[in-house]
A and B are shown apart, each in its own frame.
Chain A
Amino acid sequence: MGEGIDSAKLMPWLLAPGADFRATVRSFKTVDPDEATLRRLAATAMDVSQLGQLGRVVAAKRDAIAAATSFLPIRLGLVGSHTLDHIADALEATGLRHSILLSLEKAPYGLVTQAVLDPSIGFAAGSVDYVLLSLDPRALGLHLSELSEGGAESAVQAAIDQMILLRDGIRGRIGAACIFQTLVPSTDPLFGNFDRRVAGSSRAMIEEYNRRLDSILMDGDLIVDVAYIAATVGLARWNDPREWHGAKFPFALEATPLYADHLCRTIAAARGKSRKALILDLDNTLWGGVIGDDGLEGIALGNGSGTGEAFTAIQQLALELRQRGVILAVCSKNEEANALLPFREHTEMLLKEGHIAAFVANWNDKAGNIRDIAATLNIGTDSLVFLDDNPVERALVRRELPEVAVPEAGEDPADYPGLVARAGYFEAVSFSDEDRKRADYYAANAERQRSSASVTNLADYLASLEMVMTAIPFDATGRARIAQLTNKSNQFNLTTRRYGEDDIQAFEADPSKYTLQVRLADKFGDNGMISVILFDKGGDTWSCDTWLMSCRVLGRGVEHQVLAEVAAAAKAEGATTLTGHYLPTKKNGMVAEHFGKLGFTKIAEREDGASDWSLDLASYEAPDLPIAVERSA
């Protein structure tokens, strides 16, 4: 059974409709709607009733709207094997959200092939720009298993052949482009997990159909990945047998706003109406805290804390978007020097100044700044998305610039990447030619796949990683992360000594301490700070106080390269011996032989398992490892 959808949470990036929603819509029965008001209404999370209310206004006033606004008119034909009314009702209002003004033609209920092929029943030639083929597995004979010999293949091929027939009719007779949909599998299995291995199970046939569907698209045809949309909602919520049996709805009624949004964003993308630039606030949007108050060491960013990682994830998304061609800009209320500081000096910043096409940090109002940014970039304000944690700034921009998309960022930065990505602001329908700059990102991923697949020799693999280790003394920038690592690392931690930031700060200035903070980057990206080393300098003997490492980089030879650094430094200051100590805990058994593996000799072992180790520097030779070392930040 369908499990119900909370429509208020279906599209969390949208603001809830105002209490005056219906009154505003109704006022358009007497006056023509204006673009700003339509955009403000359409930018809210309308439920199916509200979509219908606004949609009826759009249908009734289409000519006036087309004449007086920038919404792009598009004619869409709807063909379906099920009820289309609720979808049609939602589309016109949703279209406004994506800057398109839809006019709809509905084929008679259930008449799929006839509507496409027979001009006396279906659409006249040249009457629509797109035809949506909204078919469900039942219409294509893929809803029931096909367990006879060869039955699965012929069922899938028959379904694909049917789509080819429809495609040729739409393109040939009607002269429109097709909008295909992937099929959503049933919530209910036949065998269970084994379904995926039985070619004739409904689920396996639907997967195979979805795979083949891509190959029948021709130039200008679009595809809406309904299987994916359903997955984001959850199959048990998406599929609602009661609404199918009772009303022939292909999916739960309350999922309609999300479906309509995906359909409209796809059409809008094909017509160049996707957004082009992402404007980012800084404080509490790209990092936690206020740079002007908290300073470089005080802001939350990067590995270690959940909050810091959440902000890293936002930066990762921005960087990914940039790599596929989305323009990044900054709009922040800040002193410019403060705003730039993290970009220039914070080691955990993924975004650099060079990634930002327009950087505006001042105390002017943000609506004005956003207009300036659009002018600088030479794009329309309707191409912009503005991400800001501050509800006051969001409200101001929505009021002054209703054509700017403003995701309703909530309290938790962990939600931000999902809000921006799932809103479909930057929907694309092609990946080619002018977008080729995006390829870097995909190339790196593909390379990672190939590396693990083809390199069987470990040494070759490590060499192929192109590792670069940065080993520098403790400093103010790294202080918080160093303290955090000493407090959080349990497994690869020889002595498990916990230090606060004040301790770390003291070590920075203490000439009797040798300190290292170690970062590791490879060709796939930056692993961040992965090791912390602290030695007490004696005259002849340097004694290891702390040696910890992130388990993420186990097996890369990092600890050997770190030892080479320590040994070289100790020799340079005239020491002859390094000593190491292992203090066992419940969690650090994996490093009991750490110093032994590095070539130290065990000199003592106590009853509790603790051990002391020694390395004679005169006979130590640094290993030759495929890790380049940088000794400045």
Chain B
Amino acid sequence: MDRDQIIEKLVPLMEDVFDEDDLAYSDDLSADDIEEWDSLSHVRFIAAVEKAFKVRFSTGEIEGFKNTGELVDALTAKLG
């Protein structure tokens, strides 16, 4: 699965978790940009990503993600 395919699958997931319609993806999206993205929905988001992509992140990885681009990079590395 390449980076674009991962993003394509990620966007509807984010729309659902953050309750946002027509989310415009960019690599530098973070909690600052999305109203519903708080510490709680962040955990939800990671859980939803893990389920959808069948991966598991470590405690350290979860703490390390600064924006969606880093998450997509981590997914690309795991699924690549």
**Would you call B47 an interface residue if the criterion is a C-beta within 8 Å of the partner chain's C-beta atoms?**
yes
**Would you call B30 an interface residue if the criterion is a C-beta within 8 Å of the partner chain's C-beta atoms?**
no
Residues of A within 8 A of B58 (CB): 242
Of residues 1 through 39 on chain B, the ones whose CB sits less than 8 Å from some CB of chain A are: 16-17, 19, 21, 39
CA distance A32 to B26 in the complex (A): 35
User: Interface size (B, Cβ < 8 Å)?
Assistant: 18
Interface of A is mostly: helix
Of residues 37 through 67 on chain B, the ones whose CB sits less than 8 Å from some CB of chain A are: 39-41, 43-44, 47-48, 50-51, 56, 58-59, 62-63
Residues of A within 8 A of B56 (CB): 4
CA distance A77 to B44 in the complex (A): 23
**Would you call A52 an interface residue if the criterion is a C-beta within 8 Å of the partner chain's C-beta atoms?**
yes
CA distance A83 to B38 in the complex (A): 13
Shortest distance between the CB of A145 and any CB in chain B (Å): 24
Residues of A within 8 A of B63 (CB): 246
Residues of A within 8 A of B40 (CB): 83, 85-86, 89, 247
CA distance A53 to B21 in the complex (A): 13
**Would you call A243 an interface residue if the criterion is a C-beta within 8 Å of the partner chain's C-beta atoms?**
yes
Contact indicator A246/B48 (Cβ below 8 Å): no
**Would you call A236 an interface residue if the criterion is a C-beta within 8 Å of the partner chain's C-beta atoms?**
no
CA distance A253 to B61 in the complex (A): 18
Partner of A49, one of B21, B39, B44: B44
Q: Known interface pairs A245-B59, A246-B62. Does A53 touch B19 (Cβ–Cβ under 8 Å)?
A: yes
CA distance A254 to B51 in the complex (A): 10
Residues of A within 8 A of B43 (CB): 86, 243, 246-247, 249, 253
- CB nearest neighbor in B for A246: B59
CA distance A83 to B40 in the complex (A): 9
Contact indicator A48/B19 (Cβ below 8 Å): no
- CB nearest neighbor in A for B36: A52
CA distance A4 to B48 in the complex (A): 11
Of residues 223 through 257 on chain A, the ones whose CB sits less than 8 Å from some CB of chain B are: 242-243, 245-247, 249, 253-254
Shortest distance between the CB of A49 and any CB in chain B (Å): 5
Of residues 25 through 50 on chain A, the ones whose CB sits less than 8 Å from some CB of chain B are: 26, 48-50
- CB nearest neighbor in A for B39: A247
Shortest distance between the CB of B78 and any CB in chain A (Å): 16
Residues of B within 8 A of A85 (CB): 39-40
Residues of B within 8 A of A242 (CB): 58-59, 62
**Would you call A631 an interface residue if the criterion is a C-beta within 8 Å of the partner chain's C-beta atoms?**
no
CA distance A83 to B51 in the complex (A): 22
**Would you call A571 an interface residue if the criterion is a C-beta within 8 Å of the partner chain's C-beta atoms?**
no
Shortest distance between the CB of B48 and any CB in chain A (Å): 7
Residues of A within 8 A of B50 (CB): 4
Residues of B within 8 A of A245 (CB): 59
Contact indicator B16/A22 (Cβ below 8 Å): yes
Contact indicator A48/B59 (Cβ below 8 Å): no
CA distance A247 to B59 in the complex (A): 10
Residues of A within 8 A of B19 (CB): 22, 26, 49, 52-53, 56
Shortest distance between the CB of A106 and any CB in chain B (Å): 12
Which chain A residues have a beta carbon within 8 Å of chain B's beta carbons?
A: 4, 7, 22, 26, 48-50, 52-53, 56, 83, 85-86, 89, 242-243, 245-247, 249, 253-254
- Given A4-B56, A243-B43, 15 more pairs with CB closer than 8 A: A4-B50, A22-B19, A49-B17, A49-B19, A52-B41, A83-B40, A89-B40, A242-B59, A242-B62, A246-B43, A246-B63, A253-B43, A253-B44, A253-B47, A254-B47
Q: List 12 A-B contacts (CB under 8 A).
A: A4-B50, A22-B16, A49-B16, A49-B41, A52-B19, A89-B40, A242-B58, A242-B62, A247-B39, A247-B40, A247-B43, A249-B43
Q: Which 7 A-B pairs have the closest CB atoms?
A: A85-B40, A247-B43, A49-B17, A246-B59, A242-B59, A253-B47, A48-B44
